[in-house]
A and B are shown apart, each in its own frame.
Chain A
Amino acid sequence: MELQIDIGGRTRTVIVETKDGQYHVTSDGETWLADVAVIDGATYSVIFPDRGYASQEVGVAVVGPNGDLSVHLASGITTVGRPTGAGRFGGRGAQAAQSVGARQVVAPMPGKVVRVLVKPGDQVKARQGLVVVEAMKMENELRSPKDGRIVSVLITEGTSVEAGRPLVVVE
């Protein structure tokens, strides 16, 4: 299986295969051999035979409207873009042929748009501020989930928004 995954603001091409009951995961020229057991739902026990049998428990959860994943490790939590990609056995499918895909930035709770910081066509970097929404007497700057380009801005200053309302689309 070949996947495109956004990690740390950069899109990675990741190849996953299983052989002899173990996972081989390749990205950026490195391959990791992993023995994986499912603990429950989306919690996995991962042992790396090539790395001194290092043992890790990892948890995964789907967060946000785009199907992004929150990855929970012993050392912390990180958000990873929704893996998109081809069929199970490698090769490129329709999904992989398009770019990683447009990502929506939505209002986290009911509020009002007080400032729009970008316009369609702007190039943005991961964590760059896009929109400021006022909610519960506090101003909250919503940031870009990735490096990319603003595809559309769906609101204007003064728009009242409900939780989940898409505000900006980044590609």
Chain B
Amino acid sequence: MRRQKALSEEAKPGWKSIPIGGILLEPGSALSYKTGAWRAFRPVVDQSKCINCLLCWIFCPDAAIIRKEKFVDVNYDYCKGCGICANECPVNAITMEEEKR
């Protein structure tokens, strides 16, 4: 049976053209790796409830909480949906909602 390949896999370079040892020669390349795609649940901030205490910002392991003047927001490109922010929020301003794809 012919092996089915995803289009994105076809486009990646082969072993002959990648740097040795899995080394990344360009710094900061994690920026282009959108780990938000891993998310099963997304944190949703109720901005009317948020008291801007920034506990979520402190606890977020991915630095995916964005500070704004009066409330916080989420960077969905990198938020993996772990739910720590929702758990830590003292006023229950963050709820985890199932991702619908």
Is this pair of chains taken from one and the same complex?
A: no
Interfacial residues, chain A to chain B (CB-CB below 8 A): none
Interfacial residues, chain B to chain A (CB-CB below 8 A): none
